[in-house]
Structure 1
Amino acid sequence: MNAPAIVVTGTGMITPVGTSTDAVWEAIRRGESPAGAVPTPGVSGALRCRTVAPFGLDLLPGRGNANLDPFIRFALVAADQAISEAGLDPATWEGGRVGIVVGCGLGGSATLSTAHSRLAERGPDAVSPYVHPRSLINMAAGMIAIRHHVTGPSHTVVAACASGAVAVGVGRDLIRSGACDIVIAVGTDAGVVPVIAAGFAAMGALADSAADDASRPFAADRSGFVLSEGAAALVLEREDSARARAATSKGRVLGYAFTTDAHHPVAPHPDAVGAEAAVRAALTDASLSPSAVDHVNAHGTSTPYNDRSEGKLIKRIFPHRPSVTANKGLLGHSLGAAGAIEAVLTLRSLATGIVPPTAHTPAVDPELAGLDLVLDKERHQNPTVAVSHSFGFGGSNCVLVMGK
């Protein structure tokens, strides 16, 4: 029996360059640096991060939402947008047949950081009773469920910087299994917090420049990533169900795979063995060969080790040279949110026929010569099949295969 086709009928997004999918896509197409690079207190003066601009009831109406941890607020905004774009009404859907899968790497870092400071300075009586409801990593899923009357399965997946992509894959599998008719898949993280930034800086993972173009995926002079934040959401449905209610498909999730390096806590395998296994397994899941892939949305963090292993991987698996782009050049690295954000942007490339440029990379590292990285300006290509890579600490490798 053939597995049912799974389509995306709604998307939502909030990032440092825009507070909707349309706004983020237009910024990515232009490849222009945002104005949201701000110093992070308590960390090296050279460090700057990408932050989401403060927002209020215009994006997230409802009592009490202003006091939620940012990782929850971001997830709620993205989910609201995706559900609306899908043309669904939570007041009328069968909540038990709707599921939620949220990918997140950190949880409520800002809430915990603030609570710890109050505890250290003023004692336990100064700690808010809302610390845990605002910080537990499953609370984004819980708050989406409360807000939208979802009583089906609610999962939170944690795979470091691959978390958002894993959420999409697990969501797809929930529908394929028959457990759900609709799944809201979300990636969210809000790690622009001094202790988080300082930890990444101490291990040498962050860019050594405060310049707006410090994130330079696959460039010879890349030095590390720029810490960021945000969220993206995708509404997944069976294609026949979406068609029956005249919903517009934004694209298909054709394949998904997840592997583990079992190599090092934070460094990718130098030969990308686990990542290659994930790419090949995802293509097998989609019943496609590597030659069918027109476009690669790379993980592309701008770190020396990740970009080297990923670039060589792309050249090895795809010798026909599909186009490659890396969105983190503009967006920075939003950790657990990145995979979902990049999945949505990959779908936009498929829907519009446009591959956006890799911002801030003037030329590909000579060591990776032969990689067809889109530079300078967008390319009108009309890809039909694309893969989106997401890798993370702990050796996590997640690959999504997307189609029109």
Structure 2
Amino acid sequence: MKPTDLVISGVGMVSAIGIGREPFSKSLMSGCSGVVKLDDVDPQSAEQAGMEHLCRQYALVDGEAVLDERTAVAAPIVDFDGKQFVKPRKALKVMCREIQTAYAASSLAISDAQLDGYLPAVSPDEADYEDGGKIANVRIGTVFGSEMLYGPPSELADAFAACIGANGNVDTNRFGGAAVRGITPLWLLKYLPNMPACHVGIVAGAHGPNNTVTVGDTSGPAAFMEGCGYMTRDIADFMIVSAAGSRLNATRALFTEDQPLASVYEPASRSSRPHASDADGFVRGEGAAGLVLERGSTAKARGRKPIAKVLGYASRFIPSSSFKSGERNAEIRPDAGRGSTAAIVAAMRGALQMAGVSADELGAVIGHGFGDPVIDACEREAINEVAADVPLALPASVLGHTSAASGMMGLVSACVVLQANQIPPVEYAKACHAGLNVDDQPRDLTKPFVMAIAHTSPGNATAILLGR
């Protein structure tokens, strides 16, 4: 089977700018930002949405705790309630926020693909989806992009407190017994990276390929390519592919913050400024995005018009200098070494070659830039080398950095561009580095192909080429 036989028949999004394809598309095309001051989030809404994960950092200055203003803004999902999506509802007790959003995005994608009536899947001898029946359970699979999932520090506080001795020192030998008494036995199930694919697979009755990919920002696109592989090897007829991530959790921020945070801009909603000449870091965000992958022939048989055709894809790893040296830093200096221009170039060229398409035929590139000046510079160099002057869209400018979901957010944004036949604006286009084809107004998509790219600090890069 050729890659061009594959189509995307449904997409779902849970994001700071909208939940579901229509709200997300409207916000993206209007340049509406999901970045807010955390103090402006209604406390009642925050509590209902389970947003205790929102992270603000403080530093000691002359013995007093002073708020780091860079953590005063974020791109949270303020109107999400897992109870509206998760079935059975009792499953919520073993779902952290990222698992809930991944489940919701997948459910939205299934509905968008008009697959609800074909699920849950059934045994092969009962299946007959071509005549409006159910899908064979062995012919539908789930593959998800994920990451290490972090719980709020409060969940472990009692267990750690029990380890503090009379002298104020921590006795680690106490932790085993304290954890048994102070942490719910189901705690681990809430934070396993492979649980989103598990939960969705169970509710869909999917007994086909099931896997989880954890490669940072490229997790979603890598999962998508693995899903394409299952399809081309004819071991599935349908694949549910999703990714979820968050950079808002306090535990994660304290453990792995290796990129610079953005200064608060005025207005605060414009603090996420990838490729701006004054950008100095990223804005923390969260989100999930999913899609349904199938063959064009099955979509036609179901009467479903595809959202996009899959034309080409490529994944490349060429290590960044910081990865090779083992240095992890968040410094803004030319030799900081985060990101790999060579990997991005190789991935873009690989996707074009697979599709048999030239860069001149690209109508838009969906960039991955998120405000880190060092990593954004790698992306600019790659775009100028492979697809100079192709119109550029920057979803992170309104979504913030959504971690493991970010690559999938770019991919579903490419689907939106193809459907709307428009390229979303970059509100601060006049402040962007010279040489990038960005505009502060929506523009018509004048050529039929759109490429979504994603990349990581260590040197992973992906490129996916879609067409109408």
Interval of TM-score (by shorter of Structure 1 and Structure 2): over 0.9
Matched residues in 1 for 2:448 and 2:356: separation? 15
Contact map agreement 2:3 2:311 (CA 8 A) in 1: no
From 38, 48, 63, the equivalent of 2:89 is: 63
Letter paired with 1:24: F
1:22-71 deviation line (CA, Å, top 9, x unaligned): 11111111112336542644514311221112414333343224331011
**Alignment CA distance shift 1:2-1:399 (3 Å):** closer
Letter paired with 1:116: L
Matched residues in 1 for 2:228 and 2:37: separation? 35
Q: Give the secondary structure class of the aligned counterpart of 2:83.
A: coil
Q: Please show how residues 305-324 of structure 1 align to structure 2 within 5 Å.
A: 305-319=374-388, 321-324=389-392
1:299: Cα distance to partner?
Answer: 0.5
Matched residues in 2 for 1:149 and 1:361: separation? 46
**Alignment CA distance shift 1:299-1:204 (3 Å):** closer
- Counterpart in the other structure of 2:114: 87
From 310, 313, 316, the equivalent of 1:259 is: 316
- Residue segments in structure 1 that go unaligned for 5+ positions in a row: none
- Counterpart in the other structure of 1:105: 147
TM value normalised by structure 1:
0.92
- Counterpart in the other structure of 2:10: 10
Q: Give the secondary structure class of the aligned counterpart of 1:225.
A: coil
- Counterpart in the other structure of 1:329: 397
Q: Please show how residues 32-51 of structure 1 align to structure 2 within 5 Å.
A: 32-34=32-34, 36-38=36-38, 40-44=54-58, 45=67, 46=69, 47=71, 48-51=73-76
1:242: Cα distance to partner?
Answer: 1.1
Contact map agreement 1:218 1:361 (CA 8 A) in 2: no
1:137-166 deviation line (CA, Å, top 9, x unaligned): 101111111111111111101110111111
1:111-142 deviation line (CA, Å, top 9, x unaligned): 6x444334212421111111221111101111
Specify the structure having the higher radius of gyration (Cα): 2
1:190: Cα distance to partner?
Answer: 3.0
- Counterpart in the other structure of 1:371: 436
> Is 28-37 or 2-11 further displaced after alignment?
28-37
Q: Please show how residues 171-320 of structure 1 align to structure 2 within 5 Å.
A: 171-199=227-255, 201=257, 203-209=258-264, 211-263=268-320, 264-265=322-323, 272-319=341-388
Letter paired with 2:105: A
> Is 169-178 or 118-127 further displaced after alignment?
118-127
Q: Does 1:346 align with 2:387?
A: no
Contact map agreement 1:13 1:20 (CA 8 A) in 2: yes
Matched residues in 1 for 2:185 and 2:415: separation? 41
Contact map agreement 2:319 2:340 (CA 8 A) in 1: no
> Is 225-234 or 289-298 further displaced after alignment?
289-298
Matched residues in 1 for 2:259 and 2:9: separation? 40
**Alignment CA distance shift 1:242-1:317 (3 Å):** same
From 447, 451, 462, the equivalent of 1:387 is: 451
Matched residues in 2 for 1:245 and 1:119: separation? 53
**Alignment CA distance shift 1:253-1:119 (3 Å):** farther
Letter paired with 2:374: Y
- Residue segments in structure 2 that go unaligned for 5+ positions in a row: 40-53, 59-66, 121-133, 163-177, 329-335
> Is 301-310 or 256-265 further displaced after alignment?
256-265
Matched residues in 1 for 2:427 and 2:223: separation? 26
Matched residues in 1 for 2:157 and 2:429: separation? 39
Q: What is the aligned residue count?
A: 396
1:198: Cα distance to partner?
Answer: 3.6
- Counterpart in the other structure of 1:120: 160
1:221: Cα distance to partner?
Answer: 0.3
**Alignment CA distance shift 1:279-1:85 (3 Å):** same
1:208: Cα distance to partner?
Answer: 2.5
1:179-238 deviation line (CA, Å, top 9, x unaligned): 11100110111331112234565x342113263211111110001111111111110001
- Counterpart in the other structure of 1:137: 193
**Alignment CA distance shift 1:283-1:331 (3 Å):** same
Letter paired with 1:20: G
Matched residues in 2 for 1:41 and 1:288: separation? 44
CA RMSD of aligned residues (A): 2.0
Contact map agreement 1:222 1:303 (CA 8 A) in 2: yes
Contact map agreement 2:13 2:24 (CA 8 A) in 1: yes
Contact map agreement 2:35 2:400 (CA 8 A) in 1: no
Q: Give the secondary structure class of the aligned counterpart of 2:202.
A: helix
Q: Give the secondary structure class of the aligned counterpart of 1:234.
A: strand
**Alignment CA distance shift 1:400-1:9 (3 Å):** same
TM value normalised by structure 2:
0.80
1:173: Cα distance to partner?
Answer: 1.5
1:309: Cα distance to partner?
Answer: 1.4
Letter paired with 1:306: I
Question: Taking every aligned residue pair, what percent have the same amino acid on both sides?
Answer: 25
From 101, 105, 108, the equivalent of 1:78 is: 105
Matched residues in 2 for 1:78 and 1:182: separation? 16
**Alignment CA distance shift 1:389-1:35 (3 Å):** closer
